[in-house]
Structure 1
């Protein structure tokens, strides 16, 4: 496999909701890297605008299934992009949620066959900056539960989890890029 194969270039930034993922991804984009927006936020916006029911607080499994479809489409679309491609969450997060809610073996059937870079960066819980908004209605307790699940699921799939430091966005971006360079 060549060094520029998608699984080597596709990097997931995941972790605790409200931990600074979107801010970090905006900084990486500002530095010229390709960034893929979180599937869940896009789905929530669409569903709220259309009066749909595939919302995490209305029909969690439908929401997770839509997130899986969107994450697969994001991966396919990103294959034509050169260099690092940073994903705000993605397929593993959606498959983990679906498996947690329904018991369906989504991690094995989907996530293993669509790998990302071996290192996955997780934002740790950061209560001081956590907040809700129209697309993020769950509280910190639910965010912590999701974080713990992802902290277990990523290594189960063979990923090396790297916990991001609670630092400023520029330092976090430097940390990510330096870690990928090793």
Structure 2
């Protein structure tokens, strides 16, 4: 099986339950790759860095790209399905959402480092949306992020599979059924 066919992305706007779903799927024994954005924010805050979405958005995007490339490479060493909490096309959506140009090397990364053509997307879900130390977006920004992800992934030829707005156990069953 080629790597890209066994690499599945879960994307969507912030606060839509995607990371909770990833953790639940991990508990079922599936291999997962963590979200770059949250980790980059935590690291930058710890070291007093400025590559943060509220300080240096382009620097933040570059660090996320490095993280995503490393995750893609690391996933190749594992057998079977690997689930990614976001993927490289998320960076294109993020940069576009921020009104920043998408550098050619980021576009090239999205073309070169591919995932399964079917991508799981979590729709905006205001009833479960919440903010925390890393998630500072408003519900309106979460909606705009969702739309940016739809545009980014469909623009790169991915087919979106919309996750149901249902309890995590139901979402796990849905994903497992889709994975076969």
TM-score tier after normalising by the smaller chain length: over 0.9
Q: Which residue pairs with 2:139 in the alignment?
A: 140
Take 2:34 and 2:152, find their aligned partners in 1: how far apart are those partners? 21
Q: Which residue of structure 2 aligns with residue 69 of structure 1? A: 66
2:23 & 2:134 partners in 1: Cα distance?
A: 18
CA contact (8 A) 2:14 2:137 kept: no
Asked whether the equivalents of residues 95 and 110 of structure 1 are also in contact (C-alpha less than 8 Å), the reply is no
TM-score normalised by length of structure 1: 0.93
Alignment of 1:30 with 2:24, yes or no, is no
- Shift in Å at residue 99 of structure 1? 4.5
Q: Tell me if 1:93 matches 2:118.
A: no
Contact conserved, 2:93 with 2:151, CA < 8 A, in 1? no
Q: In 1, distance between residues paired with 2:173 and 2:63?
A: 33
- Indicate whether 1:175 and 2:147 are aligned: no
Contact kept? 2:96, 2:148, Cα under 8 Å? no
Secondary structure at 1:13 match in 2: strand
Distance in 2 separating the partners of 1:52 and 1:25: 28
CA RMSD of aligned residues (A): 1.3
TM-score, normalised with respect to structure 2: 0.94
Matches within 5 A, 1:1-182: 4-100=1-97, 101-106=99-104, 108-181=107-180
- How far has the Cα of 1:21 moved from its partner? 0.7
Query: Displacement of 1:105 after TM fit?
Result: 4.5
Give the gaps of 5 or more residues in structure 2. none
Residue 99 and residue 149 in structure 1: after superposition, are their counterparts in 2 closer, same or farther (change >3 A)? Answer: closer
